[in-house]
């Protein structure tokens, strides 16, 4: 006869005992699940993450290249926004380097006018001129560009050096189309403007050559 090792009672014909300890020992132990499924899931997640990172990086690089290639447009567009909003500081940022803008502040101070007052007065001046010309809004479209070289580049280079004491890396002659919306209609004017990439402060629009757009020249002339 066989007896239970836990309670000492006689085992039944199946060799089992009904005591609590014997029943507990009969419960099959849980087997450790195979890690293969988890490993495959982790690999899939890692692949997805890598793909997302790669796509993000490609989009970033493409955006950077596209932005750099079109950076020359920014000062012209900023100048137009400054006119439409009566925003002198936006116009200054589009035209002047940081050093040249600092010089403007010094001149304002020498005249006994605080910079805030100067900006406020010029903002009002832009609005007054725009209203006197019945201009509601100006839109600009960049049509084409030509890289300046030879005497044409030298002319722009000289302008920046004498006006802002600034050297330039390159310059473009940009064909623009202005759509001027008046209170009683609109007019479309097409012509060329110059932009240059300065060594210290990126691309800047220059009033040089803007005489053909009298409505622009009047509105960007600072007090």
Round to whole Å and give the CA distance between 73 and 176: 10
Round to whole Å and give the CA distance between 115 and 118: 5
**Report for 15-19, 161-165, 204-208: range of highest mean pLDDT:** 161-165
pTM above 0.85, yes or no: no
Given this structure, which CATH class describes domain 72-220? alpha beta
Beta bridge partners, 197, equal 170, 203
* Residue 32 scores a pLDDT above 60: no
Round to whole Å and give the CA distance between 220 and 223: 9
Least confident of 64-68, 157-161, 178-182, 201-205: 64-68
Where is pLDDT greater, at 104 or 42?
104
* Residue 1 scores a pLDDT above 80: no
Give pLDDT tens digits for 91-105. 999 999 999 999 999
Per DSSP, the residues of 129-193 read HHHHTTEEEEEEEEEEEEE--HHHHHHHHHHHHHHH---EEEEEEEEEEEEEEETTEEEEEEEEE
Residue extents of the structural domains in the chain: 72-220
* pLDDT score recorded for residue 137: 94
* pLDDT score recorded for residue 45: 83
Q: Are 92 and 101 in contact (CB under 8 A)?
A: yes
């Amino acid at each position: 006869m066989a007896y239970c090792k836990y309670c000492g009672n006689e085992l039944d014909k199946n060799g089992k005992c009904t005591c609590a300890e014997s029943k507990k020992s009969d419960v099959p132990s849980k087997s450790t699940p195979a890690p293969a499924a988890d490993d495959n899931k982790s690999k899939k997640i890692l692949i997805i993450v890598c793909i997302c990172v790669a796509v993000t990086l490609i989009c970033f690089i493409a955006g950077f290249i596209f932005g750099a290639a079109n950076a020359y447009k920014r000062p012209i567009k900023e100048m137009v926004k400054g006119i439409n909003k009566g925003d002198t500081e936006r116009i200054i940022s589009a035209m002047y380097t940081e050093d040249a803008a600092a010089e403007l502040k010094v001149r304002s101070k020498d005249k006994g006018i605080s910079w805030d007052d100067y900006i406020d007065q010029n903002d009002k001046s832009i609005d007054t001129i725009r209203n006197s010309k019945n201009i509601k809004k100006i839109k600009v479209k960049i049509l084409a560009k030509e890289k300046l070289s030879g005497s044409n580049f030298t002319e722009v280079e000289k302008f920046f050096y004498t006006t802002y004491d600034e050297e330039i890396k390159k310059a473009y002659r940009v064909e623009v189309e202005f759509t001027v919306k008046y209170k009683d209609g609109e007019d479309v004017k097409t012509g060329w403007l110059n932009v240059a990439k300065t060594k210290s402060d990126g691309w800047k629009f220059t009033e040089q050559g803007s005489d053909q757009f009298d409505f622009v020249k009047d509105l960007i002339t600072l007090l």
